[in-house]
Amino acid sequence: MIDRARKEGHAGHWGSGGTTQSYVHVDDLAKLFCLAAEFAPHGAILHGVADDVTQRDLARAINRMIGTDEHTDSLSLLQMLGIAAETVANIGGPFTPPPTAASGISLSLNKRLSSEKTRKLLDWSPNAPTSATTPRSARTRNDRPRTSTLKEHIVDLQLTEKIIVITGASSGIGRTTALTVAAEGAIPILVARSTDKLEKAKAEIEGAGGAAYVCTADVTDPAAPDRVIATVLEQYSRVDALVNNAGGLHIRTSFLETTDEQWLATFDLDFHAARRMSRAAVPAMLASGGGSLVHVSSDSGRLPEIGNVDYAAAKLPLLALSKSLATEFSPQGVRSNVVVSGPTRTELYDRPGGFAEQAAKIWGIDKEAAIDRMAARLLTRRLGRAEDLANVIAYLVSPLSHQVTAAEWSVDGGIQRQV
């Protein structure tokens, strides 16, 4: 349709509401279809927008995206992008404009694109292929200009090919963090005891077009950290970031009934593993010019309870460790920060015999009632999700946070309410 319009010299046009007509040159229409063709395979969805200000903001963004004349009717642009996206998503069907979109149209993605894919998308030129059936392999670098006016509006975490070691990566926050940074172009090094779970996480990352490396290890083994880092250096020659996420919680009934063995095991997993991993990773970071350490702690460090006496005591020292590391090594380019998680509903909570069932047993209520009781303590009135932590961690390991060190980031639903 676009090719035919080019030959006949027509412009694309649709009504923008009522009887008003607005015309856009066919080359600009081609750009819209190129944009929609790239969005559609990644789950682009359309949402109604009732706010006129939001409509104008969206229109300005689309103008910058495709370079149309600044006098082009805003709502027509929004309608055309919606038409293009719907048409691309329903290849083979008739091209029929939808009813007048008096409320406007906006575009959002429900699947995060990697920075590389995003760059490719934003670099499309007016002459790029317009058919959604054109294979990506057929789209050459020469089809795209070197710059894009939309790039200034995209947050690129600059993690492409960064080597990020993540402990406790087989489930929960660690696994979600691995998926998050991989979507940004990083190569997560997946560290945990379960090879099967790590391989599944790696397969999911690779299935989405990313890359990951599995390094099975028990970080409570004093020799494991040096072995992990040596393996990473052998494979990739550097370490850009370390996420000390490995940890575990067992409900205790009383301080008096918590044994020495339980105390030592908890400190090995929740504190000493992070200390040893940091000691192994920092020299590699210094050798390559810098890096980022992120330690996942818990609100329990400041809000201990009877049932987490050893866990709370083990998590609090991570704050001091991180500040000490930041003080010594930030001048040399290695930053250190802590992410403090509040109650977060992960496998640690939900698995059989997990934290939720343990708490329910102590409180004499069922599992879901225990979850509700925990959530009621939060200002947000819901438990956190692994994604809530992963997004903050991804920022802290990225170069965008280069001025952030010796800091403590609470992702806890407001439970601590610190001043």
∠ at Cα 72 (69, 73), nearest 5°? 165
Rounded Cα–Cα distance for residues 322 and 317 (Å): 9
Radius of gyration of the chain, Cα coordinates, nearest whole angstrom = 26
Active site (annotated) includes residue 311: yes
Instruction: Print burial letters for 297-309: b (CB count within 10 Å at least 16), e (below 16).
Output: bbbbbbebeebbb
Helix axes 367-375, 355-363, angle to 10 degrees: 90
Of 23, 213, 236, 311, the active-site residue reads 311
Question: Which residues does residue 384 pair with via DSSP β-bridges, in sequence order?
Answer: 344
Closest listed residue to residue 176, CA positions, set 419, 355, 394: 394
Q: Do β-strands 44-48 and 105-109 pair in parallel, antiparallel, or remain unpaired? A: antiparallel
Closest listed residue to residue 396, CA positions, set 150, 81, 234, 162: 162
Which residues 6+ apart lie within 8 Å of 94 measured at CB? none
Which residues 6+ apart lie within 8 Å of 114 measured at CB? 182, 183, 184, 185, 209, 210
Rounded Cα–Cα distance for residues 9 and 25 (Å): 9
Which residues 6+ apart lie within 8 Å of 166 measured at CB? 174, 177, 178, 181, 188, 189, 190, 191, 243, 245
Helices (H) and strands (E) counted in the chain, each on its own, are: 16, 11
Residue with structure tokens 């990506």?
Answer: 136
Which residues are tagged catalytic? 311
